[in-house]
Amino acid sequence: MEVYAWARRHPGFAMAVKGRHQISANQPIGSPSWQDVTLNGRKLKRGVRLWNIGTSMLKLELFGDLEKDKPVDGEDYPDGYVYPPEGTTDEWVKQLVAEELRIIRLRSGGFRREWHKVRNQNEALDNAVYARASAFSLGVDRWREPS
């Protein structure tokens, strides 16, 4: 509730987000829905806009970007290349890759893809996914170099 209240007070600056792996694989961010907020024991109907984030699609994109080779001999960096800033700790890198995609066989004979934690701390991955969703919502993918 504290986060919702803060986001409500800063509508043009902050987005209240919720990760949803169920969102279709081709939708990084869904339409916002209004979330009721309780403030000081008082319920505010439609208190804050909550954005659902398609975490599975964004994790797939990130893990694909992490596999890109570093350019050599003055080549340009490929779009989406991930280069951590100087001073990035091993712990941060471990958190960034703290999940793996598994294929689960269903009783019906079909399959389902699920993300599973391979270690408890995954805040760097969550932050990267939410930052990417925020960038997408701002239209970063449509930005072009000035000509």
Tell me what pLDDT residue 89 has. 96
Decide which of 22 and 55 is more confident: 55
Q: For residue range 51-65, list pLDDT tens digits in order.
A: 889 899 999 999 999
pLDDT at 61: 94
Mean pLDDT of 109-129: 94
pLDDT band at residue 47 under the 50/70/90 scheme: confident
User: Which of 52, 47, 53, 54 minimizes the C-alpha distance to 1?
Assistant: 47
Q: What is the mean pLDDT of residues 99-123?
A: 93
Helices (H), 33-114: 55-66, 90-96
Tokens of 67: 């596999």
pLDDT tops 70 at residue 24: no
List Cα–Cα distances, 95 to 39, 53, 90, in angstroms: 33, 19, 9
Q: Checking DSSP bridges between strand 33-39 and strand 42-53, what pairing results, if any?
A: antiparallel
Predicted pLDDT at 28: 84
Residue 45: pLDDT above 80?
no
Section 72-101 average pLDDT: 93
∠ CA 135-141-147, rounded to 5° = 125
Higher pLDDT, 117 or 32: 117
pLDDT surpasses 60 at 132 = yes
Q: Name the average pLDDT for the chain.
A: 87
Report the distance separating Cα 35 and Cα 48, nearest Å.
5
CA distance 30 to 38: 24
Q: What is the DSSP annotation of 7-31?
A: HHH-TTT--EEEE-TTS-TT-SB--
